[in-house]
Structure 1
Amino acid sequence: MRKLLGQFLRFGVVGLGGLVIDVAVFNLLRLTILSPDVLHEGPVIAKVISTTLAIGANWIGNRRWTFATTGRTGATREGVEFAIVSVAGMGIGLLCLWVSHYVLGFTSLLADNIATNVVGLGLGAIFRFALYRWWVFSPSRSVLAAEQAAAQSARAASHAAQGAVDAAADAALGTTERAVRPAGLTPLHRVQAVSPIEDRAHRND
């Protein structure tokens, strides 16, 4: 329980850092090069850029700090899964805003902020933390990865040992064949045939 609480607190700190990056980058771009006066779709593009940077920062923080005690099973896989969970968590905030604004009829600026930045943010944070801990950075995956690595190493060692045994057997077999061959034995292909006439001539002599 203490470990879970510690992870949740670290997750909150990392999320707060990501929120600061998101807000700061968005406003910086929104007020400068991506202002609607410069580019009509500027605010939307600015939000995409700021959210992407925030997700990247959150991934690094959670991977290196919040869930640092769990083993790593592949940065690419974790990055893709982290992005999926992050986008889904953002969707929870958008859903809360949509229900509040269009279904319940709370259309004020305060109501929109409460819906998306209080209720949606809270539900999204719980959702993301749960999936980060039990899916993206799951300890069971670390154990499985370690077992697979150990099995692969064992197979490689077994193949190497079998290769050494085969080489030793081949070397021993070659030595035995050389030892069995009589010394000075003339190979069969070097024996010259003797004709019967020559053989009788030698016997008459």
Structure 2
Amino acid sequence: MRRLIAQLARFGIVGAVGFVVDLTVFNALRATVLSPEEVHSGPFWAKVCSTIVAIFVNWMGNRYWTFRHQRRSVAAKEGVEFVVVSLGGMAISLGCLGISHYALGFTSALADNISGNVIGLVLGTAFRFWLYKVWVYHPDRVAREGEATDGAVADTVDDRTVTR
């Protein structure tokens, strides 16, 4: 249980860094080149761009810190799965932003931030952590991949995969 709590804390710290990146890029784009006064769908595209940058930052943090003992030997495959899950989280944030901004008419910068970067973030974070834990970085997948690539026997010990 302590390991899960520690992993959740690391996930939260990585997520906080990603959140700052996402929030900064989103607001910089929304206030400049993708302002709703200039581009009608500007907030939507600002969120897409900011989330893509944050996905990369989060993958690096989660791969090399949060799930470092569970990362896979094939980074590209892991990266693709991480991006797929992250895009699901992005869809949740975009859905919240879209409903608030376009369906309900709450078009201020504050409303866009609350819907996309608070409500969407909370819902998307729960979705992402669960899928990272049970799919992307699942210890059994790491062990199977290790056996398939080098014929070694891999054991999962205290949330870490040890190859012998």
> What TM-score does the superposition give when structure 1 sets the normalisation length?
0.59
RCO (CA 8 Å, sep 6+): is it higher in 1 or 2?
Answer: 2
Q: CA deviation at 1:101?
A: 7.5
Q: CA deviation at 1:147?
A: 1.4
Q: Aligned pair in 2 of structure 1 residues 68, 22: CA closer, same or farther (>3 Å)?
A: same
Question: Is the 1:73–1:141 Cα contact (8 Å) retained in structure 2?
Answer: no
Query: Any gaps of 5 or more consecutive residues in structure 2?
Result: 153-164
1: distance between equivalents of 2:35 and 2:102? 26
Question: Is the 1:36–1:43 Cα contact (8 Å) retained in structure 2?
Answer: yes
2: distance between equivalents of 1:29 and 1:113? 13
1: distance between equivalents of 2:52 and 2:111? 26
Task: Report the counterpart of residue 14 of structure 2 in structure 1.
Answer: 14
Task: Report the counterpart of residue 92 of structure 1 in structure 2.
Answer: 92
Pick the structure with more helix per residue: 1
Task: Report the counterpart of residue 132 of structure 1 in structure 2.
Answer: 132
Q: CA deviation at 1:108?
A: 8.1
> Which digits, 9 at most, give the CA deviation of each residue in 1:34-77, with x for residues without a partner?
25499636655443332211100000000000001114231111
Task: Report the counterpart of residue 188 of structure 1 in structure 2.
Answer: none
Identical positions, percent: 49
- How many residue pairs match? The answer is 150
Task: Report the counterpart of residue 144 of structure 1 in structure 2.
Answer: 144
Pick the structure with more strand per residue: 2
Structure number with bigger Rg: 1
Query: Any gaps of 5 or more consecutive residues in structure 1?
Result: 153-205
> What TM-score does the superposition give when structure 2 sets the normalisation length?
0.72
Q: Which moved more, 1:123-132 or 1:39-48?
A: 39-48
Q: Aligned pair in 2 of structure 1 residues 142, 128: CA closer, same or farther (>3 Å)?
A: same
Q: Which moved more, 1:16-25 or 1:91-100?
A: 91-100
